[in-house]
């Protein structure tokens, strides 16, 4: 058994990061392990996790499992979990409750836990204590070891816990069963060294490790060959890409430029920390048409006092300065979105009003807003939290009012314009329409023939809602 340890996870060693290309192997006796068996992977959390689930699925398919969309039909269930807030935890444990009933009827069913919750000591101890009926637990650093973990479990027939606290290296050569044929996630780095005081990610995802530029470019070139139209470069803090290279001077602006030069129609990147956003990056984004005019720039709070307590390393003023620089360079058509936490320990009415005033000033295209959720093991969890639950809920409500007002205003500006949309699927709200996104990340429902799915088309926008636009194809 290998149980996670937060003290270990917090360590940042000076050891050089190795790029390992031959770590993923399926033992011979596991090659047909999934024959005639179905798997179901449930994903919680961020895009990083979505992409990890694509890798987990591909590994299972390499062992000949077939996919099912219904967990009730599965022979193997993996929950790929998120640890960022309490409610992500609760959802997972709720799902485990339902699965337990299923397992009582279907004794051969295998159930595993993966992702960020698996990296948490307290979660794994709870699983060992109260969820002995589960089959295996693995973490974010050893996804490539899934075949071996299943093999061990088959031998021992006991709950197999195999979680690495130290991240180790960059594993190349992993397969991926991509959910979309048109847009793809591409990891450019793993982990995070920022240690914002509220955030669990530096513990669950380990130290920052950038992939080699040539491996990333090769992946993108292959995606272009396979007909992909869009890539999203993924990392917890993509602007710090390359800062961990010891010998190379190659940063995010260089990578963005090289990815743009592959000729892929659209390049996106998430998530940006304002701290590492350089002028050179802004110049590259402005220079290349295929780098989307969409920046997700989490601010977290508008109060410099709270930002300091959060360990964000910028003030309200310096965020606004960066925001204006980006706006001036990319123009008013660019879309800028953010993340905001309300009710951080010590946030008083005046601090919260600073956040409201920042939202009024920036007029974000949209924002993800959250109530602060203490995460065990992080510095903020030890701070005195003097804001009541009711007050936090009221602040969230007041903030959302402002965010929604500007989201609608931003969308209204599109009415009458013709924009390019990558059509992805039939619309969820109306199956006579198709749905896709603009390069500025606006969801568009469009009247057009299904043959356009997978293509970038011109759409004339006729109506704007707070969270979507409606339009017709402009041929
Ligand atoms: N409580 C509430 N929200 C959080 N986030 C990260 N950690 C917490 C927490 N402990 C939010 C931040 C981050 C987004 C992904 O989740 O806004 O940008
Ligand atoms: Fe959740 Fe963060 Fe893990 Fe993503 S990296 S799954 S947001 S805890």
Predicted pLDDT at 315 = 98
pLDDT at 6: 85
2-16, 87-101, 315-329, 410-424: which has the minimum mean pLDDT?
2-16
CA of residue 181 to ligand 1 center, whole Å:
30
Query: How confident is the model over 234-260, as a mean pLDDT?
Result: 96
| Distance in angstroms between the alpha carbons of the first and the last residue of the chain | 61
85 lines ligand 1 (CB under 6 A): yes
Contact (Cβ atoms closer than 8 angstroms) between residue 435 and residue 425: yes
State the ligand closest to the CA atom of 82. Answer: 2
**CA-236 nearest atom, ligand 2:** 5
The tokens of 251 are what? 């940063």
pLDDT in tens, 103-144: 999 999 999 999 999 999 999 999 999 999 999 999 999 999
Pocket of ligand 1 contains residue 314 by CB under 6 Å: no
Cα(83) to centroid of ligand 2, in Å? Answer: 6
Ligand 2: lining residues by beta carbon, under 6 Å: 45-46, 48-49, 82-84, 115-116, 200-201, 204-205
pLDDT band at 13 (very low <50, low <70, confident <90, very high): confident
pTM above 0.85, yes or no: yes
Centre of ligand 2 to C-alpha 49, Å, is 7
Q: How confident is the model at residue 383 (pLDDT cuts 50, 70, 90)?
A: very high
Q: For residue 85, report the distance from its CA to the centre of ligand 2, in Å.
A: 9
Nearest bound ligand to the CA of residue 201: 2
The alpha carbon of 201 and the centre of ligand 1 are apart by a number of angstroms equal to 10
């Amino acid at each position: 058994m290998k149980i996670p340890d937060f003290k270990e996870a917090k360590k940042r060693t000076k050891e050089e990061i190795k790029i390992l290309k031959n770590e993923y192997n399926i033992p011979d006796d596991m090659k047909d392990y999934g024959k005639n068996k179905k798997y179901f992977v449930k994903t919680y959390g961020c895009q990083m996790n979505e992409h990890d689930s694509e890798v987990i699925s591909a590994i299972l398919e390499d062992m000949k499992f077939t996919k099912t969309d219904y967990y009730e039909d599965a022979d193997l269930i993996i929950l790929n979990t998120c640890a960022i807030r309490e409610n992500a935890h609760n959802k997972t444990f709720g799902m485990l409750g339902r699965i337990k009933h299923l397992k009582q009827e279907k004794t051969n069913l295998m159930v595993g836990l993966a992702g960020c919750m698996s990296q948490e000591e307290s979660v794994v101890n709870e699983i060992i204590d109260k969820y002995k009926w589960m089959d295996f637990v693995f973490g974010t650093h050893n996804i490539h070891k899934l075949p071996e973990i299943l093999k061990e479990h088959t031998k021992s027939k006991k709950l197999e816990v195999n979680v690495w606290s130290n991240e180790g290296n960059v594993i190349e050569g992993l397969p991926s069963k991509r959910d979309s044929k048109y847009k793809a996630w591409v990891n450019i780095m793993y982990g995070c060294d920022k240690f914002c005081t509220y955030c669990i990610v530096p513990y669950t995802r380990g130290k920052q490790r950038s992939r080699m530029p040539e491996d990333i470019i090769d992946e993108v070139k292959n995606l272009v060959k396979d007909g992909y139209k869009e890539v999203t470069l993924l990392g917890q803090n993509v602007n710090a890409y390359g800062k961990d290279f010891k010998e190379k001077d190659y940063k995010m602006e260089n990578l963005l430029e090289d990815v743009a030069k592959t000729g892929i129609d659209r390049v996106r990147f998430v998530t940006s920390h304002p701290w590492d956003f350089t002028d050179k990056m802004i110049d590259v984004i402005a220079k290349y048409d295929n780098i989307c005019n969409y920046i997700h720039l989490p601010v977290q709070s508008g109060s410099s006092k709270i930002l300091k307590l959060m360990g964000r390393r910028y003030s309200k003023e310096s965020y606004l300065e960066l925001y204006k620089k980006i706006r001036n360079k990319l123009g008013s058509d660019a879309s800028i979105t953010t993340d905001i936490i309300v009710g951080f320990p010590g946030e008083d009415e005046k601090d919260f009003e600073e956040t409201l005033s920042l939202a009024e000033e920036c007029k974000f295209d949209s924002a993800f807003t959250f109530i602060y959720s203490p995460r065990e093991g992080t510095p903020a969890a030890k701070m005195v939290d003097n804001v009541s639950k009711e007050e936090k809920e009221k602040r969230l409500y007041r903030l959302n009012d402002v965010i929604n007002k500007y989201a609608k205003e931003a969308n209204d500006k599109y009415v009458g314009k013709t924009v390019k949309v990558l059509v992805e699927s039939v619309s969820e709200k109306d199956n006579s329409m198709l749905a896709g996104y603009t390069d500025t990340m606006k969801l568009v429902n469009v009247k057009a023939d299904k043959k356009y799915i997978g293509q970038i088309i011109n759409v004339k926008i006729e109506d704007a809602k707070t969270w979507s636009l409606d339009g017709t194809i402009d041929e």
